A = this chain, B = another copy of it.
Amino acid sequence: MLFRTWKKITAVVALALTVSCVSHSSLAQNPNLVITQADVVAMRIGVQKEGRFQNAYNDLRATVDRQLVQEINVPVPKDGGGGYTHEVHKKNYQYMYNAGLIFQISEDQKYADSVKDMLLEYAELYPTLDVHPKRKVNSQNPGKFFWQSLNEAMWMVYTIQAYDLVKAAIPAADRATIENDLLKPVAEFLSVGQPSTFNKVHNHGTWATAGVGMAGYVLDEPEWVEMALYDLEKSGKGGFLRQLDELFSPQGYYNEGPYYQRFALLPFITFAKAIENNEPERKIFEYRDGIVYKAIDTTIQLSYAGLFYPINDAIKSKGTDTIELVHGVTIAYGLSGERGLLSIAEEQNQVILSGDGLLVAEALDQGLQLPYAYRSVAFGDGNDGKQGALVIMRSDLDGEQSVLFKPASQGLGHGHFDKLTWQFYDLGEEIVSDYGAARFLNVEAKFGGRYLPENNSYAKHTVAHNTVVVDEISHFDNNVKVGNANWPTLAYFETSDEGSVSRASIATAYPGVNLDRTLALVNLPELGRTVVVDVFAVTGQSKQQYDLPLHYLGQLIDTSFPLQAKANNLQMLGTDNGYQHLWLKGQATPDSGLAKVTWLNKNGRFYTQTSLVDGSETFLFTQLGATDPNFNLRNEQGFIRRVKSNEHTFVSVLEPHGEYNPSKEYTLDAVSTVTSLTYTEQDNVVFVELSIAGNDYLIALNSSAQNAKEVTFKNSKYTLSGRLSVFSQK
């Protein structure tokens, strides 16, 4: 796979060199960061042809033209995030970058002049500034234009590229002013001025090293590049390469989850591309077995129906069309020529004006896109890939189904206390859901647009997820530090034609309690259907309360047992750890046997969770929204299986079925067809007997290390060829 990738990269580089040979030798060396002189030559030809690239260029030029005629506005910094001066300075660096691009392609001097004029205003302002008035008290990382240096570093990443694009068209005296009064001091402020941020192995550090490192190339300060790569002392303990070592797993998974992975991606790919163009001998895209490319590709894999799986602090509408991933896909295609990436680019429907962007646009114009291959995969977590895993299972046997299983590590401050939780997706919709982050981004009335108080009091807590809560206390007793230091163990993951299966456990979420979950997305080709088998074993040392919530999206349709609903009065379910946000809407203690809960999702399909119960489990039906004085929470539904025991195994099957089509006035198979479910653990194998729609299945989940294993179950012999075996008895 990787070999193929590199072969294609070689081809692309060869092409670039060819183009390079015909470039105007009269131009100076700039630009040469993400965009090279060779790219510029190709883009100037590219915009002559009708197609996506020309359209993107015309659109951006029109946008820049509208801004060009406005007066330059470089206000004295005053406001915090989201405030007026904050937004103006953000707009300014984007404008300078765009105008620089249009200058290079159009060769119209007015655009270069406009960037120059704005840079000169910045150069006049900067020496007069102290740190920002709205910085946090005792902040280690204030900015000057912005309240925090993260934004200052982003300013630098854009501005240094803008300068690189226009540098050759600016008089020498102006260049001196801009470099000496603005760019160099900002680079110094972001590096030696803030060692704690610059040296930090964290995405804030990546923005700083990217900005300063690129400034090193443009301003001919090779020492800055060294510092950016290896930290201020060039020790290798920090810096860009250490960030590449530490922040991603070997498969390119970023510890905080996809929502933050896509945010962190941009400085990585930008600086990497600039390094490649300036110092190809560093072979940055080969670094750590191609980690930059893997990080981009993994971000795509971590999506369903175009949206990122919303684990940890994630806003649910973020997906593969975010601008960071548009850049990512563009650069990844430039590297690999993988035609599957083009279908993602097509969905993104945005063309980047760069050399790689031109390749993408022309390939799409030619219809070269192929379907992107979404896979079932376990992404190892942590820099060694051994700190748990994030598991994605997929099947397209009946719809487009996916299980996310999360025996991943905590994921730092944005992580949730949700070890071994799961989510389920089908026909483009969330079925078994995760709340994501409690936040209305940038909506001032909602706690200033920041994370809401309910993010800590509900969304991060265990009960907000689909995993076991012991005694109404969250995992690690809600302590991030303890969470970061402990993670689940992935016993196994395997995917085959029979489906996908994974098992994982953790003994450190609660003292003296082991949580062990096996989840399988099982194909039943005889029925053309797929089910999820869930076996969650909880082993404690004394009688405790074990709660297993399931948060579903949709309308409750039916339960197979009588349900006592609270008719005229609702109470909150508990007092702390998220329970204070749940209304108790009804409860039931089903008799021994099968307990079914059926709901209808907005995708028009029914879902039945069939639980195998022994009469000890109480089902508590909940609605979110208690203790919510500002109506900050979505009023979503769930049910909690509760048992008081030393140890307990929660066994269930989730079954998608039927169709509700009120538009065409038909309803099909609204009733679950699971008629029998048993569970036996024997000789390191979990046997689940499932009768569904008249078919009898034996599903064997094999925890033994042996790849082929002979077993006897109920007097019949079976050969298990892998982790998951499905025997159809009919």
Please determine whether B662 and A445 come into contact, CB atoms closer than 8 angstroms: no
Asked if A319 is an interface residue, CB under 8 A from chain B, the answer is: yes
**What residues on B are CB-neighbors of A508 within 8 Å?**
none
Please determine whether B572 and A568 come into contact, CB atoms closer than 8 angstroms: yes
Please determine whether A557 and B445 come into contact, CB atoms closer than 8 angstroms: yes
Please determine whether B440 and A557 come into contact, CB atoms closer than 8 angstroms: yes
Asked if A479 is an interface residue, CB under 8 A from chain B, the answer is: no
What's the least CB distance linking A150 to chain B, in Å?
14
- A570-606 CB mask vs B (1 if < 8 Å, else 0) is 1110000000100101100000000000101000000
Please determine whether A565 and B319 come into contact, CB atoms closer than 8 angstroms: no
Please determine whether A318 and B555 come into contact, CB atoms closer than 8 angstroms: no
The count of residues in chain A whose C-beta lies closer than 8 Å to any C-beta of chain B is 54
- A528-545 CB mask vs B (1 if < 8 Å, else 0) is 000000000000000000
What's the least CB distance linking A636 to chain B, in Å?
9
What's the least CB distance linking A435 to chain B, in Å?
13
Residue from the set A445, A571, A631, A663 with the largest chain B CB neighbour count within 10 Å: A631
Given the interface pairs A568-B627, A580-B568, A631-B565, the reply to whether A665 lies near B441 with Cβ below 8 Å is yes
A667 CB contact (under 8 Å) in B321, B449, B637: B449
A670 CB contact (under 8 Å) in B443, B630, B665: B443
Asked if A10 is an interface residue, CB under 8 A from chain B, the answer is: no
Please determine whether B557 and A662 come into contact, CB atoms closer than 8 angstroms: no
**What residues on B are CB-neighbors of A600 within 8 Å?**
440, 443
**What residues on B are CB-neighbors of A580 within 8 Å?**
568
What's the least CB distance linking A527 to chain B, in Å?
20
Closest B residue to A321 using CB positions: B663
Please determine whether A629 and B666 come into contact, CB atoms closer than 8 angstroms: no
Bound: A713/B318 CA distance, A: 52
What's the least CB distance linking A391 to chain B, in Å?
26
**What residues on B are CB-neighbors of A671 within 8 Å?**
444-445
Asked if A363 is an interface residue, CB under 8 A from chain B, the answer is: no
Please determine whether A628 and B565 come into contact, CB atoms closer than 8 angstroms: yes
What's the least CB distance linking A663 to chain B, in Å?
5
Closest B residue to A666 using CB positions: B442
Please determine whether A635 and B623 come into contact, CB atoms closer than 8 angstroms: yes
Given the interface pairs A441-B662, A442-B665, A665-B442, the reply to whether A571 lies near B568 with Cβ below 8 Å is yes
Asked if A66 is an interface residue, CB under 8 A from chain B, the answer is: no
Closest B residue to A665 using CB positions: B441
Bound: A105/B626 CA distance, A: 64
**What residues on B are CB-neighbors of A556 within 8 Å?**
631
Asked if A446 is an interface residue, CB under 8 A from chain B, the answer is: yes
**What residues on B are CB-neighbors of A445 within 8 Å?**
557-558, 598, 670-671
Closest B residue to A571 using CB positions: B569
Asked if A411 is an interface residue, CB under 8 A from chain B, the answer is: no
Asked if A730 is an interface residue, CB under 8 A from chain B, the answer is: no
- Residues A407-423 near B (CB distance < 8 A): none
Closest B residue to A670 using CB positions: B443
Asked if A660 is an interface residue, CB under 8 A from chain B, the answer is: yes
Asked if A360 is an interface residue, CB under 8 A from chain B, the answer is: no
**What residues on B are CB-neighbors of A623 within 8 Å?**
625, 635
What's the least CB distance linking A635 to chain B, in Å?
5
A627 CB contact (under 8 Å) in B567, B572, B631, B634: B567
A443 CB contact (under 8 Å) in B557, B571, B634, B663: B557
**What residues on B are CB-neighbors of A565 within 8 Å?**
628-631
Asked if A664 is an interface residue, CB under 8 A from chain B, the answer is: yes
Please determine whether B660 and A443 come into contact, CB atoms closer than 8 angstroms: yes
Closest B residue to A623 using CB positions: B635
**What residues on B are CB-neighbors of A666 within 8 Å?**
442
Please determine whether A318 and B662 come into contact, CB atoms closer than 8 angstroms: yes
Please determine whether A569 and B569 come into contact, CB atoms closer than 8 angstroms: yes
- A644-674 CB mask vs B (1 if < 8 Å, else 0) is 0000000000000000101111110011000
Closest B residue to A634 using CB positions: B555
Bound: A670/B557 CA distance, A: 36
Closest B residue to A446 using CB positions: B557
Bound: A663/B317 CA distance, A: 5
Residue from the set A318, A558, A598, A663 with the largest chain B CB neighbour count within 10 Å: A663
Bound: A323/B322 CA distance, A: 39
Asked if A315 is an interface residue, CB under 8 A from chain B, the answer is: yes
Closest B residue to A598 using CB positions: B445
- A313-355 CB mask vs B (1 if < 8 Å, else 0) is 0010111011100000000000000000000000000000000
What's the least CB distance linking A243 to chain B, in Å?
23
**What residues on B are CB-neighbors of A667 within 8 Å?**
440-444, 449
Bound: A629/B563 CA distance, A: 8
Closest B residue to A442 using CB positions: B667
**What residues on B are CB-neighbors of A635 within 8 Å?**
623, 635, 637
Bound: A427/B568 CA distance, A: 37
Please determine whether A567 and B446 come into contact, CB atoms closer than 8 angstroms: no
Bound: A725/B627 CA distance, A: 47
- A291-330 CB mask vs B (1 if < 8 Å, else 0) is 0000000000000000000000001011101110000000
Bound: A447/B102 CA distance, A: 64
**What residues on B are CB-neighbors of A441 within 8 Å?**
660, 662, 665, 667
Bound: A567/B570 CA distance, A: 10
Given the interface pairs A443-B557, A635-B623, the reply to whether A569 lies near B568 with Cβ below 8 Å is no
Bound: A586/B571 CA distance, A: 15
Please determine whether A569 and B567 come into contact, CB atoms closer than 8 angstroms: no
Contacts A/B (CB < 8 Å), 23 sampled? A323-B664, A441-B667, A442-B667, A442-B670, A443-B557, A443-B660, A443-B667, A444-B667, A444-B670, A445-B557, A445-B558, A449-B667, A565-B631, A567-B572, A567-B629, A568-B580, A568-B627, A569-B571, A570-B570, A570-B583, A585-B631, A621-B631, A623-B625
Please name 10 further chain A to chain B contacts, defined as beta carbons within 8 Å, in addition to the given A444-B667, A567-B629, A569-B569, sorted by A numbering.
A440-B557, A443-B667, A444-B671, A445-B671, A449-B667, A565-B631, A567-B628, A568-B627, A569-B572, A635-B635
- 3 residue pairs, one from A and one from B, having the closest CB atoms: A442-B667, A445-B558, A556-B631
Which residues of A does B touch, CB under 8 Å?
A: 315, 317-319, 321-323, 440-446, 449, 555-558, 563, 565, 567-572, 580, 583, 585-586, 598, 600, 621, 623, 625-631, 634-635, 637, 660, 662-667, 670-671
